[in-house]
Amino acid sequence: MKPTTALALAGRLAALAALAGALAGCAPIEPWVKPYERERLADPIMQFQRDALAERHRDHVFTVREGARGATGVQGGGCGCN
Amino acid sequence: MRALSLFITAALTVGSVQAAPAPSTPAPDFTLRSMNGPNLRLQEQRGKVVLLNFWATWCAPCREEMPHLNRLYEKYRAAGFVLLGVNVDDDPANALGVAGTFGVKFPMLLDTDKQVSKLYDLATMPSTVLIDRDGKVRYLHRGYKPGTELEYDQQIRTLLK
Amino acid sequence: MDATRGAHALSRSLPPEGARAADQPSRIRARRLVRALLRLLGLGGLFGGIAGGAQAVDLPPDHAEAMIHIYDGGGVTASGPALLVRKNIANKVSLAATYYVDMVSNASIDVVTTASPYRETRQQLDISADYAVRDSLIRVSASNGQEPDYTATTWGVDVSQELLEGLTTVSLGFTQGRDQVGQKGLPGYFDHAQHWQYRLGLTQIISPRWLASANIEALADEGFLGSPYRAARAFGALVPERNPRTRSGRALKLRALGDVSGLFGWMGAARQAVRAEYRYYWDNWAIKAHTLELGYSRYFGDAWLADALVRFNQQSAALFYSDNASTETLYVSRNRQLSAFNSIGLGGKLSYTWKKVPGQYDIKVHGSYEFVRFDYQDFTDLRTGQPYAFNGHVLQLYVTANF
């Protein structure tokens, strides 16, 4: 084995090891809100969309009368309501 | 080369998360107030097989699991099995209400300040820990899916032997 | 995901194949090592929580809703019943079906000034199936809407993935719609329209009390995008409207929701939450819209829940929109939906928990009312000669049950 090639290889592997070590350090992002601390978040008032039909109707009322649409979380359904 | 690969593998495994307690380690001891009033200490249950179930009223799978736990308690309590329910609600009154609705017979402990939950490093709700007669953690269940109660049954039998 | 990309880049920088034969053994060993590393990094991932615990997502709970919806405003009355049923089958799939009826009685300003009032009924049926696969929830949905002069068929897929033990939810969605456009008095359909929507969303639990989400949606439309009944105005005379046959838009919505119970003494100790939402929409018809919504919810006792909301919407006109065109352009439209206007809405909702057996079922009754005012800057009411404005009333009465 030629010395230059071996050195280059070792250098590259060392870089890889350093990256792996660094990433292993980053790997476990501990969830900062534990499952037993999620009581408030489990309440229905902490949902962005509470009742599907009501949200859908309200979204329809505005989509039909305004030029803006989308990103509301209500999917699909077209109509010729122009 | 081999040393390098060993180092990298070691570095990566250290990185992955293991929730405490791990199987075959002694179960961390604690004392909690029970719903009926008197305090209950885990250490006092040595000699019996203990199933520790962490639950909350706001967690749907926890409520689904409740009747099954009740049934298991009734089935094995004479053989030296005790089921301890640990409730983590902010308001213990909710726990009392739900426990009453399900006609819960096993001791219900209140962990309102979440100290025992932190001690056991709960990763999901519900969490179930099965502890053998020597106070060692043997099985750990995260979450509940219909059919898990059959696993509990099997594991309790194994530990009771 | 970034880890594997980084490792891939490094593997490419290793000595290429076909170099000196004498170096083969070390190169093979190096390649094996890199492959093992990639596998480890790929599996472990950046989110150690997945390696630690088998967190699985639950299917949505069984649910039913029945609603009567009423809209009255600007000469249009649209009302009807709607029904939704969702059932979990053997804990493997959650099926849902929605039936929506819209009976429209249209005497709006467009209709009244250029045509005659009419009534029609639109019926829509939606079905969807949800599957839970470890931390992901996959939803496939299809919908069909029928009107006397319009048919709309839509299908879509939505995937949502939980990360960090449920703290973060990433969602991706795609919807495609195909419409057949007809006209009263003409047999069959004279044109078609197609729609595509691509969605990306991120919901993040920030603290035990706060949630935030960001959603972006790309919308594309092609085909007949106007109305065969609406006329445009050029040089004072009514002319048929000419709309582009494609439209491409983007919407970005940012939301925050927080539990503020107990934070302000004067608000009382009941569970309460505040919500803020902002959406920015822009498209290649030059429409730019800002929508802001603020909401407040609060429990009164065990059984009552009250919500209040306020909504502001402001929009700039489409490039080819004109109230009365004074030049000859390729596209011209007097569709007030594309004009410059703003709208303000104020609404309230009251919910009553009629029956509740914890862990088994609950039945709630809800009523909501929203008052909306639309003010057009560049759309003249031909009857009065003034800029047009109208008030709308949105009323919803519905019953929901979880079982």
pLDDT per residue over C275-301, tens digit each? Answer: 999 999 999 999 999 999 999 999 998
Same structural domain, C37 and C87: no
Short-list C359, C308, C329, C318, CA closest to C239 = C329
- ipTM here: 0.83
| Segment C54-61 mean pLDDT | 73
- What is the structure's pLDDT at B11? 44
Average pLDDT, chain C: 86
Chain C, window 165-194: residues with a beta carbon less than 8 angstroms from a chain B beta carbon:
165
Taking only the tens place, the pLDDT of each residue in C95-118 is: 999 999 999 998 888 887 777 778
Q: Identify the chains in contact with A, defined as 3+ C-beta pairs within 8 A.
A: B, C
In chain B, the domains with their CATH numbers are: 20-160 (3.40.30.10)
Where residue C6 falls (left for φ over 0; alpha for ψ -120 to 50; beta otherwise) is: alpha
Q: Which residues of B touch A17 (CB under 8 A)?
A: 4, 7-8, 11
Other Cβ atoms less than 10 A from the Cβ of C284: the count is: 14
| Segment C59-75 mean pLDDT | 93
Other Cβ atoms less than 10 A from the Cβ of C205: the count is: 22
Same structural domain, C331 and C398: yes
State the pLDDT confidence band at C51, using cuts at 50, 70 and 90. Answer: very low
Q: Which residues of C touch A65 (CB under 8 A)?
A: 337, 343, 374, 392
Q: Which residues of B touch A (CB under 8 A)?
A: 1, 4, 7-8, 11-12, 14-17, 54, 56, 58-59, 88-90, 111, 114, 117-118, 122-125, 127
- Total domains in the fold of chain A: 1
- What is the structure's pLDDT at C15? 43
- What is the structure's pLDDT at C20? 46
Q: What pTM does this model have?
A: 0.80
Nearest to B16 among A16, A28, A39 (CB): A28
A20 Cβ under 8 Å from any chain B Cβ: yes
Same structural domain, C36 and C169: no
Same structural domain, C125 and C220: yes
Same structural domain, C291 and C388: yes
Range of A11's domain? 3-65
Same structural domain, C257 and C302: yes
In a domain, C292, yes or no: yes
User: Does residue C299 contact residue C326 with C-beta atoms inside 8 Å?
Assistant: no
Same structural domain, C12 and C127: no
Contact C49 B145 (CB under 8 A): no
> How many angstroms separate the CA atoms of B117 and B123, rounded?
9
- What is the structure's pLDDT at A5? 67
- What is the structure's pLDDT at B25? 87
In a domain, C18, yes or no: yes
Range of C336's domain? 56-402
Q: Which two tokens stand for residue C108?
A: 């709006």
Same structural domain, C85 and C176: yes
Segment among C32-46, C268-282, C347-361 with least mean pLDDT? C32-46
Other Cβ atoms less than 10 A from the Cβ of B36: the count is: 8
CA angle B66, B72, B73 (to 5 degrees): 90
Q: Which two tokens stand for residue C1?
A: 């995901």
Q: Which of the residues in chain B have pLDDT under 50?
A: 9-18
| Segment C26-34 mean pLDDT | 60
| Segment C367-387 mean pLDDT | 94
In a domain, C98, yes or no: yes
Contact C55 B143 (CB under 8 A): yes
Same structural domain, C90 and C21: no
Burial state string for A34-67 with b = 16 or more CB within 10 A and e = fewer than 16: bbbbbbbbebbbbebebbbbbebbbbbbbbbbbb
- Total domains in the fold of chain C: 2
Same structural domain, C319 and C347: yes
Q: Identify the chains in contact with B, defined as 3+ C-beta pairs within 8 A.
A: A, C
C19 Cβ under 8 Å from any chain B Cβ: no
Segment among C41-45, C87-91, C350-354 with least mean pLDDT? C41-45
Same structural domain, C205 and C111: yes
